[in-house]
Structure formats: structure tokens, C-alpha cells
Amino acid sequence: MDFDLNVEQEMIRKEVRKFAQSEIAPMAEALDETETFSPELTRKMGEIGLFGMFVPEKYDGQGMDYISYIIAVEEIARVDGSHAATIAAGNSLGIGPINYFGTDAQKKKYLPRLCSGEALWGFGLTEPTAGSDAGGSKTTAVKDGSEWVINGSKIFITNAACELSLGVTVQAITGNRPDGKPEYTCFLVENGTPGFKAVPMKKKMMWRASSTAELYFDDVRVPSENILGKQGDGFHQMLKTLDGGRLSIAAMGLGGAQGAYELALKYARQRKQFGQPISKFQGVAFKLADAAMEIECARNLLYKACWLRDKGRPFEKLAAMAKLYCSEMMGRVTNHAVQVHGGYGLMKEYQVERFYRDQKLLDIGEGTSEIQRIVVSRHIGC
């Protein structure tokens, strides 16, 4: 067994960490406070190659392995959850479906711009009545000649209502299958299409500097060539997309936990009580030891899942495990980190407060912790 990263992967970690510290860290607090999405930082992330890392070079991607992409998400999350969300959703949910299921014409039309960071793409699955139950979708698409007419709405869609938003992949019901169950098909809908509206969502507890939107489709007409893949493949495409997306959410949990742990360790070494640094007290030292142990366990689990994916082997069970463990692990670590900071951990001028808020979405997004346990239980034969 070889647990060493290769030279390229180590270089990616070093360069992304340097970028996150120098470019994102100085702005993260202000952007969070004002709920401001930054096109400038997003473009800069594109300039250093953080979009389309796993996309073939023929479509202007980086052609890298998946673990390299996961390391990049991890390092951005170590500094700020909002910008990690922009990267994770931009790649796994925006670029991913087009890269894996799109026609050559669709890939050539959209991927170069998305891989450059000059444009973002959303992933329209969640609806007011369809969260964990993705099959509860109400959005429909009806064929009318050579076009499809889409009606419905989506909610909590990342990267769909900012200055760089180019469009969304939307899942809609297009009829019934032979077994009587709904047939789902995915469509590519560009911003500016008549009847399509993306409305920014504000007053979020977490990821306040990322773009989140409600989407409305009112007799939105798209040509048949805007179908992603084949008619009726939508549900399969969404499930496969979520399998990969779980790894990026896990990376956000891992990176966020690492960042919170480092903040707590630094504070514990500097803060003195009873004449010595609080890191010397067993009650604090054990919290930090537990955090270090859980981060190490999480990294090994996540990287193994990515290794399986890169080898073309089944990874779905470990992806669900990694998403579940890394997201909940960050909750435990950030809780310890706030406790180590004491009252200061509750103040916005201390970064650990933001890490504590940003963690909660990881228990919910890309399939709740409860759904992950269902997925894992099915894989083990329950």
C-alpha cells in the first residue's frame, strides 16, 4: 500500500493553499458579512485551473484525476466554505453532468467557458416538495414539435443567480415509464431564455458569500438538442452526479475541519489561564487530540473513495460513507474549536464562528446524513 500523494498532487495542495491564504482569506470575513458573491475571486480560481480539473483537455479542462480535484476543494474549504462551495458545485454539479452525459456539441459549446471560470452552471434538482425524495419533483416538460416546454420551480440551487451564471441543468418529468413511474429527463437551460428566472436567496446562515437561487420556469421553451443525453435518462444522471458530488461535500467537511482545528490549536497555544497556555490542560488537549484523530480518519476514508473512483472501481458506498463521516466530523471538530475559544469563539471577528455556521449545510446538502445512512445500509445488505 502506498499512502503518498504524487508530485503533481502535492504541488496542487501547495499552490491552492497558497492561493487560498493570499487571495481568499483576506476577503472571506467581509464577503460573508455582506452576503456578497465575488466574481473577481471566482475568475481568479478559474485562472489557476480550479474549474474543470477532471475534464479532458480537448474541452479546455485540466485532464487530472479526481483526487487532485478533491484536494483543491479541501484546501479552499480550509480557508472558506463559501468559495469551496462555488468550486465544488461548479465542478461536480455544474460541469460534471455536461462532461459525463452531454453530446460532443454540448461539451464544445459550454465546457470551455465553464472550465475557464468565466461562467458558472447550476444543477436544478431540489424543489420545494422534492428534497431527500428526489422523485417528488413537480417540474414538467412537454414536447411541442421540435421544442420542449418546461414549467415548475427549483430551490437552493448554487451558482445559478450571480453575474457569472450561464445556465442550469434542470430535471423535469417528461411522461411515464412502462412501469407507470415518472420518466425524468434533464435539459440544459441558458440564462436569458424567455420564461426562465433565477432569484437570489439571501439571509442564509452559512455559505453567505456563495450564490444560491430559486429558479422559476414559466412556459420555458428549449429545443430538443438541449436534452442532456437521452430522454428518460434524467434520474440516472442525477444519481450518478450526486455520487461524485458527495466526494466534494466530503472534501469540504475535511478541509473545513482542518481549518477549524488549526485555528483552535493556534489559539490554545497562545491563550493563557492559570499561568500557562490552555493547550497544557488535559480538557483542552484531549479535544484537540480527538480532532486531529478524526481528521486523519476522514482523510483516509475520502482519499480511498477517490482512489476507487479513479481506478474505475465501484465507489458509491465509500462516497456515501465519506460524505456522511466527513460532514458530521466537521461538526464535532468545529464544536470543539468553538469551545476551545470560549466566549471569543462566538464572536464574528474570530474565524472559527464562520466555520461553525458553514458546517451545518454539509449535513443536509447532496443528500442528508439520514439519506447517506440509507444508502450505506443498502450497500451492506440491510
Closest CA to 95 of 72, 117, 80, 73: 117
**Residue 120 in 3-state DSSP?**
strand
Contacts 24+ apart (CB under 8 A), 21-27: 21/79, 24/76, 24/79, 24/80, 24/83, 25/79, 25/80
Are 210 and 156 within 8 A, CB to CB?
no
CA dist., res. 359 & res. 21, Å (int) = 20
Would you say 317 and 245 are in contact if contact means Cβ atoms under 8 Å apart?
Answer: no
Q: Which of 127, 316, 366, 370 is catalytic?
A: 366
Q: Catalytic residue at 366?
A: yes
Q: Name residue, grid cell 499512502.
A: 3
3-state secondary structure 322-359: HHHHHHHHHHHHHHHHHHHHHHHHHCCCCCHHHHHHHH
Indicate the burial class of 381 (C-beta count within 10 angstroms; 0-12, 13-18, 19 or more). exposed
Of the candidates 73, 82, 66, the residue with the CA atom closest to the CA atom of residue 31: 82
Pick from 121, 67, 70: nearest CA to 96 = 121
- For residues 61-81, one letter each, b for 16 or more C-beta atoms within 10 angstroms of the residue's C-beta and e for the rest, the string is bbebbbbbbbbbbbbbbbbbb
Distance CA(208)–CA(82), nearest Å, equals: 6
State the DSSP code for 199.
E
Dihedral pair phi/psi, residue 334, rounded to 5°: -65, -35
Give dist(CA 135, CA 133) in Å, integer: 5
The residues annotated as belonging to the active site are 366
